[in-house]
Structure 1
């Protein structure tokens, strides 16, 4: 009987210890997940507006998907006042959309094309309890965990603003306990040949010193 009782006690102790380890590991996994904030890498875009006298499009020199450099001729426009004039690229980037075609009439302020500039950023939602780790103009590391050879880039926090539409609901509704506020953090990311818009960008808050 003593042997049998000892056997059951041993099993009970093993279950308690094993359960405790699982709880600790589970808490560690949850903590790590909470410390890793992910967003989508985006590219800044700018719209090119027509700034000259009213006229008609004579020539469209680019197509969606073309890479252009600042100063490249994108369109030729003929107007009664200025004759034929060139419309130039205002920056380096990728043409993501063309809004006009030959023969179209354009006037000042008309959109002509959308240019995707090689400036990347990502938006993250950070809990109120963690927002003190981040400050505007702060440099932080950005990870890209799903690349075959995980890359890291440097980012700079450009803005922090309240995001009232995203509240982190508490699991319990104790008296006087409010939901945690969320903050929208925009981070400018250094461009890199391996990075593309749409990739998952990750910030690990546990790497940032308080």
Structure 2
């Protein structure tokens, strides 16, 4: 009899339990989950890396769990290679300064010589015109005396021009000796580089020694090229001085001829020649004007050297910036959670070497579309830290559509259509005791009717 009653009793109990649950008006587990969300507290992590440079780690200044401030030195790379490149560029800039100074000095000398030539050409024109006038009018005693003074002046100019030629030739000899010396230095630098490279390939020498040998070789090549340029400049000076000497000698001959004609008297042919001499003197002045144009062209070359120097200075600034970037500093305040490389390891540019947990805490909520209106960006959200049994107030940073897997699908009692979820990120100020990973309870008050 009892066995027959038991099934009916179970049925009554089941119906009674269902009725009680129906009377709870949404206090079942699903409804409770809709009103209260549990999530985990998290913190932003910054991956620190060397910007644009890589190399061997020479020092590690922090360890895991260490608190750091923004600007603290975290790690450094071996700067030897960058230092060598910087010294090489500084040497090239210094050599460029010497070339610019020499080119300017040469232009100044040429400009002075041209100025003197112009003055002499003016005097020659005046003398030729005077001679032509005297040829036409006949010579007077005072004209003869004046012509003799002109000859003496022309001779003095010729002597000065010859002295300038000799000086220029001596400069050529000095420049050639400098080329020989620089060539020997270049050969020695090449031999040294070949020797160091062989030692480096054999594992005896170091990369730093090979870089130094390469730097010495580059410097020797530049010095050799500079010495060759000085030879060309000196040769050009000889040519210029020789031209001036020729002009001066011609002037002496012209003045002497003019005096002889004054003494002998002028013929029709001589008068024509006097006119021609005047034209030649004017032509000499035109030639000096052309020489001045050559000086202006030389100034363009100086400007080109200056631009090349500026380019080297830009490269130097870039290298110095890379040198500064071999020292890695903390970008934020926070706690070191991981140090990736070991001392002496090589790291590549942009690779994460240190991970820092920032002081910014947050948690993410996934709420239904009916409750998302309660979470606006900038609004305050009350939450509870379960481990500390303490309430904290956060601020909504943003609200965005959540991934598809968080949506509710056919989950309600009446089989309603799918409900979309939204991700809400809430920032929480860091206070004593708060740690990433703690459980956070948030009242969402989502309806499940």
Q: Same fold (TM over 0.5)?
A: yes
Corresponding residue for 1:41? 41
CA distance, structure 2, for counterparts of residue 97 and residue 146 of structure 1: 26
Residue 21 to residue 107, structure 1, CA distance change in 2 (3 Å): closer
Is the 8 Å Cα contact of residues 73 and 328 (structure 2) preserved in structure 1? yes
Q: Which residue of 2 aligns with 1:135?
A: 376
1:28 corresponds to: 27
Give the equivalent residue in structure 1 for 2:364: 123
**Alpha-carbon distance in structure 2 between the residues aligned to 1:19 and 1:48:** 58
2:385 corresponds, among 127, 136, 144, to 144
Aligned-pair CA distance for 1:100:
1.4
Higher RCO (CA 8 Å, separation ≥ 6 residues)? 2
Alpha-carbon distance, 1:53 to partner = 3.5
Cross-structure match for 2:312: none
Question: Separation in 1 of the partners of 2:345 and 2:398?
Answer: 40
Q: Is the 8 A contact 2:334 2:358 kept in 1?
A: yes
The alignment covers a number of residue pairs equal to 190
Q: What residue is the counterpart of 1:81 in the other structure?
A: 82
Quote the RMSD (CA, aligned, Å): 2.9
2-structure distance, mates of 1:146, 1:178: 37
CA offset digits 1:113-140 (Å, max 9, x no partner): 1100011111111011211111112111
Q: Any stretches of 5+ residues in structure 2 without a counterpart?
A: 1-14, 84-322
C-alpha separation in 1, matches of 2:397 and 2:428: 10
Q: CA deviation at 1:88?
A: 1.4
By how many angstroms is 1:146 displaced?
3.7
Q: In the TM superposition, what is the alpha-carbon distance from 1:173 to its structure 2 partner?
A: 9.2
Residues 36-185 of structure 1 aligned to structure 2 (within 5 Å): 36-51=36-51, 53-79=53-79, 80-82=81-83, 85-147=326-388, 150-163=389-402, 164-171=404-411, 177-185=416-424
User: Secondary structure, in 3 states, of the residue corresponding to 1:81?
Assistant: helix
TM-score (norm 1): 0.78
1:178 Cα deviation after fit: 2.2
Task: List aligned pairs for 1:2-13, cutoff 5 A.
Answer: none
Query: Which of the two has greater helix per residue?
Result: 2
Q: CA deviation at 1:142?
A: 1.8
For residue 165 of structure 1, give the secondary structure of its aligned residue in structure 2: helix
Unmatched 5+ residue regions in structure 1?
1-14
Return the match for 2:435 from 196, 202, 208: 196
**What is the CA–CA distance in structure 2 between the aligned matches of 1:86 and 1:131, rounded to whole Å?**
46
1:187 alignment counterpart: 426
Q: Is the 8 A contact 1:53 1:81 kept in 2?
A: no
TM-score by length of 2: 0.38
Which structure's residues are more often strand, by fraction?
Answer: 1
Q: Is the 8 A contact 1:52 1:108 kept in 2?
A: yes
Larger radius of gyration: 2
